[in-house]
Amino acid sequence: MWSSIEQIIKPDTLSEASVLLKESGSVLFAGGTYLVSLKDAGVHTLLDINHLLSDEIKMHGDEIHVDAGCTLQEIVNFDDARLNGAVLSACPSKNIRNQRTIGGEIARMRLDSDLLVFLFAAKAKLLLSHAETPIEVSDWYGNGIIVKVIIPTHHVKLERVALLDSAPAYVIVGYNEMQDIISVCVGGKISKIMFFQTKPEPAEADVRKFMDEVEASFSNDHLGTPAYKRHLVSSLLQEMAVAK
């Protein structure tokens, strides 16, 4: 536990948790994870919401409904091939999958999470504690407590480029081609998740603009130049589009 943490509070309701969360220095704690992306010495209160989150996963029509308290291992056990690859790549360790929840995975917004890229590309929706209608994961900016993740019918293909199979990928590309729309998501060692939607046969200028933004979002590091990473995204997208 971080040395700055002074107390752990177990709110009675998610509403109460939402109110407490607005106080500076408070973070949510669920599934063994502090739901913030970086260690922060200013954090003094953990809001333990484990008891408030459900952990059911089920089919609802063509959609998969996953409660935010579902661990990644429970998702693997649900045995949906569409999800499994992303989950196993995002978290190769079963011990850790038994702790990490899908809610936490989204809340932490780890840019190199294969699962997050998958959910973006799949146009997954989030049901928040304070809202009645779900919003797309790409429209969520960290406000509210996630209670459910809804994964609609999709044809997501996921490609990752990593130094090792067990290592976080430095480029992750999700490609989802539906009848009337294509969604693309790019993650990895990147400054922000890049998301792009278009009708089939997109305008060349739109694609170029997106790819320019993708390139700009990568840094020049030991894993390669932004131009190399752009090349990876471009090549992988072409492969996935051709292989449809």
How far apart are alpha carbons 207 and 37 in whole angstroms? 30
Nearer to other proteins, 121 or 237 (CB): 237
Nearer to other proteins, 13 or 235 (CB): 235
Nearer to other proteins, 81 or 243 (CB): 243
User: Is residue 144 within 8 Å of 131, Cβ to Cβ?
Assistant: yes
Question: Using CB under 8 A, which of 162, 185, 193, 194 touches other proteins?
Answer: 162
Q: In the range 123-142, which residues lie near other proteins by CB under 8 A?
A: none
Question: Using CB under 8 A, which of 44, 63, 82, 92 touches other proteins?
Answer: 92
User: What would the x/- binding string for other proteins be over residues 3 to 22, using CB under 8 A?
Assistant: x-------------------
Q: In the range 181-200, which residues lie near other proteins by CB under 8 A?
A: none
How far apart are alpha carbons 20 and 145 in whole angstroms? 12
Q: Which stretch binds other proteins (CB under 8 A): 64-72, 77-85, 200-208, 218-226?
A: 218-226
Smallest gap, in angstroms, from Cβ of residue 39 to other proteins? 11
Q: In the range 223-242, which residues lie near other proteins by CB under 8 A?
A: 223-225, 228, 231-232, 235-236, 239
Smallest gap, in angstroms, from Cβ of residue 116 to other proteins? 15
What is the DSSP secondary-structure string of 161-200? E-SSTTSPPSEEEEEEE-SS-EEEEEEESBSS-EEEEE-S
- Work out the burial of residue 152: count CB atoms within 10 Å of its CB; fewer than 13 is exposed, 13-18 middle, 19 or more buried: middle
Decide: is 40 part of the binding site for other proteins (CB under 8 A): no
How far apart are alpha carbons 160 and 236 in whole angstroms? 9
User: Is residue 225 within 8 Å of 170, Cβ to Cβ?
Assistant: no
Nearer to other proteins, 27 or 162 (CB): 162
Q: Sheet holding 156-161: strands in order across?
A: 156-161, 171-177, 182-188, 194-198
How far apart are alpha carbons 119 and 79 in whole angstroms? 16
